[in-house]
Amino acid sequence: MILHEYLQYDTLRFIWWALIGVLLIGFAVMDGFDLGTGMLLPFAGRTDKERRVIINSIGPVWEGNQVWLILGGGAVFAAWPPLYAVSFSGFYLAMFAILAALILRPVGFKFRSKRDSAAWRRGWDAALFIGGFVPALIFGVAIGNVLQGVPFRLSDELRITYEGTFFGLLNPFALLCGGVSVAMLVMHGAAWLQLKTSGPVADRARRYGGIAAVATLVLFALGGLWLAQGVAGYRITSEVDTLGPSNPLRKVAVAAAGAWFDNYRAHPALWAAPALGLVGAAMAFIGLRARREIFALLSSALGVTGIILSVGVSMFPFLLPSSADPRASLTVWDSSSSHLTLFIMLVVTAVFIPLIVAYTSWVYHVLWGKVDEASLDDPHTHAY
């Protein structure tokens, strides 16, 4: 109880904003190379055995990696109910497309080798590619739309009205953000394949990964310039009550050119986030070209982390700005669950996150080593 009283409401809100960021980064880094590997499957693997090598490089770990996505969705639901409600209402079809694509992945893994038919296996290879490409693209497109503001309103009773359309989400800036997401996860997947495979598969992964790293650098820089020059950000113009009740309509917010760079101007140290994204991608390119396996994977993970951090720190304290009514925008200070709920969740998180990290680390330690064609016929070693 003493700790509960010590952690003020605004402190808990900030902690949970940071924790959501950690979970998103965890998903992008851990499951990101799974998605990237799926996108590289038709290109890095030319024969059936080569593609089996690629699939078996992620087969034992992909399910565990998806825990970060489940944790992130559950945390948003419990810590930021209005954010969950608005995003799932506005992005319903997009979320459905992501889930449908993610469902293809386990089905593809299990069914691909059930029939000795080249056409059958090519079909499931295409499904695995879709299972990587579609989520990567749509996640990026969603971030692009969040940065531009989502067209929703809140009534005085806080009822949500979403005024957008699915195809309205596919605007040029959002598609550019989708391109950043696809490129950085292909880069990350290539770094993983370089670490886990050898021979022609690793060589092709290095080649495509190098291209993806350059594309990540260019598209991320272009997105930053576009954000500075052509996309209106949002800022709060009224007094901010960080300890107040969760009611977004108690503030005044406006859209303004360059507002997403307010935090960078106020705190220059935050430029470390986009710098990390650029430097990480550049280092991943070097690591891929130099065949430095662990260096390349860690560098690509740093690049992914920096890119996601750049979005989070630029938007703070906004979680989901409204382009239809900026006053209704959801922020860290007015869209959370109760003080007690956030505290109980924090205690639970403090117990289970270390367990998840410890178990995941142990699994990767046990499964350390490369996958090669010679080991594919051993059913005790590789299942796919």
Range in 28-37, 85-94, 219-228 with the lowest mean pLDDT = 85-94
CA atoms within 13 A on the CB side of 311: 26
Provide the number of structural domains found in the chain.
Answer: 1
For residue 62, pLDDT beyond 90: no
3-state secondary structure (DSSP) of residue 236: strand
Say what the pLDDT of residue 79 is: 93
- Highest mean predicted confidence (pLDDT) among 32-36, 115-119, 353-357: 32-36
Residue 191 inside a domain? The answer is yes
Range in 101-110, 168-177, 279-288, 367-376 with the lowest mean pLDDT = 367-376
For residue 226, pLDDT beyond 60: yes
**Amino acid code (one letter) for 132:** G
User: Which backbone phi and psi does 12 adopt, to 5 degrees?
Assistant: -65, -40
Say what the pLDDT of residue 138 is: 94
The mean pLDDT of 170-190, rounded to a whole number, is: 97
C-alpha 142/C-alpha 91 separation (Å) is 8
Residue 136 inside a domain? The answer is yes
Residue 382 inside a domain? The answer is no
Torsion angle, alpha carbons of 234, 237, 238, 241, to 10: 50
For residue 68, pLDDT beyond 80: yes
C-alpha 79/C-alpha 72 separation (Å) is 10
Give the H/E segment covering residue 255.
strand 253-257
Residue 380 inside a domain? The answer is no
Cβ burial, residue 7 (10 Å; 0-12/13-18/19+): middle
For residue 120, pLDDT beyond 60: yes
The tens digit of pLDDT for each residue in 237-290 reads: 999 999 999 999 999 999 999 999 999 999 999 999 999 999 999 999 999 999
Q: How far apart are the first and last CA of the chain?
A: 51
Averaged confidence pLDDT in the chain: 91
C-alpha 273/C-alpha 268 separation (Å) is 10
C-alpha 294/C-alpha 287 separation (Å) is 8
The tens digit of pLDDT for each residue in 140-162 reads: 999 999 999 999 999 988 888 88
Contact (CB, 8 A) for 32 and 185: yes
Confidence label for 333 from pLDDT (cuts 50, 70 and 90): very high
Number of Cβ within a 10 Å radius of residue 357: 11
Contact (CB, 8 A) for 312 and 23: no
| Residue 197 or residue 113, greater confidence | 197
Percent of the chain with pLDDT over 90: 69
Cβ burial, residue 172 (10 Å; 0-12/13-18/19+): exposed
Residue 344 inside a domain? The answer is yes
Q: What tokens does 200 get? A: 């022609």
For residue 6, pLDDT beyond 80: no
Report the DSSP pairing between strands 330-331 and 160-162: unpaired
Percent of the chain with pLDDT over 70: 97
Say what the pLDDT of residue 4 is: 61
Confidence label for 73 from pLDDT (cuts 50, 70 and 90): confident
Residue 106 inside a domain? The answer is yes
Residue 115 inside a domain? The answer is yes
3-state secondary structure (DSSP) of residue 243: coil
Confidence label for 116 from pLDDT (cuts 50, 70 and 90): confident
- Highest mean predicted confidence (pLDDT) among 111-115, 232-236, 375-379: 232-236
Residue 250 inside a domain? The answer is yes
- Residue of 112, 114, 94 whose CA lies nearest to 104: 112
C-alpha 251/C-alpha 264 separation (Å) is 23
Say what the pLDDT of residue 34 is: 94
Which residues, 6+ apart, have CB-to-CB distance to 103 below 8 Å? 131
CA atoms within 13 A on the CB side of 118: 3
H-state helical runs in 237-322: 262-266, 272-289, 293-315
| Domain enclosing residue 297, as ranges | 2-375
Cα 13 to chain centroid, rounded: 21
Contact (CB, 8 A) for 319 and 232: no
